[in-house]
Structure 1
Amino acid sequence: MNRTNPGKMDKLDRVVADARRNRAEREAGYREKALKMYPWVCGRCTREFTRTNLHELTVHHRDHNHDNNPPDGSNWELLCLYCHDNEHSRYLEAGYSTGDQSDARGATHNPFAALKQMLDREESE
């Protein structure tokens, strides 16, 4: 123990206490629960993960509701970054955007508007 500078030890004690508290908070979160509950394998591409690349494994909410975190983990699946991005892009492309679409306008240009007249003209020539 450093008796010449007790303030330094107080600061170190605070840092250690903060680190322990942060760890407990993380373990209470759904990501830590999911990582304890499921094997560290992507649910789509079956890529395996270790502690060194675990940050690339994400928790995907199957119903896309991040507030739906049941204790049994039934709304979660572990996906790698790439498969997770793919899943969310598919969800958005399917038209399930959570944003307000009331002001969204459709396309104003119709490239085939005069197609029938053009085809009829070609047939008559």
Structure 2
Amino acid sequence: MDEELVADRLIQLRDKTKQLRLRRDELTLTLDDQPTTPNPATLDQITNHITTIINTGSANQRKALIEALVDHVTITAPDRLTPVFRIPQTTTRPQPPYQKKHPPKERFAHRLHWWS
């Protein structure tokens, strides 16, 4: 076996192992995060903004609102569906060191059966 080939492969495997460990740590942090309930003032602001878009927004604005808030829709019967909403959450945990150079990602909490 070529010693150079083995050395290159070892470097690749070490890099991959490092990436996988970092991803594992990131996923572990994500599992530990529990969504928090927004304060009432924030909920009021969101409600007012949604109401304004629904009542006075253009068709494109209403479509964008629905796309932003609905994660997916489950059809439970021929005449019944259940939307699953996503609500943006801010994270209170500091980002792992390898992510600090990147902007924080938006986190979502799922809320089932908001209306039935």
TM-score normalised to structure 2 length: 0.31
Structure number having the greater helix percentage: 2
Structure label with greater radius of gyration: 1
TM-score normalised to structure 1 length: 0.29
Structure number having the greater strand percentage: 2
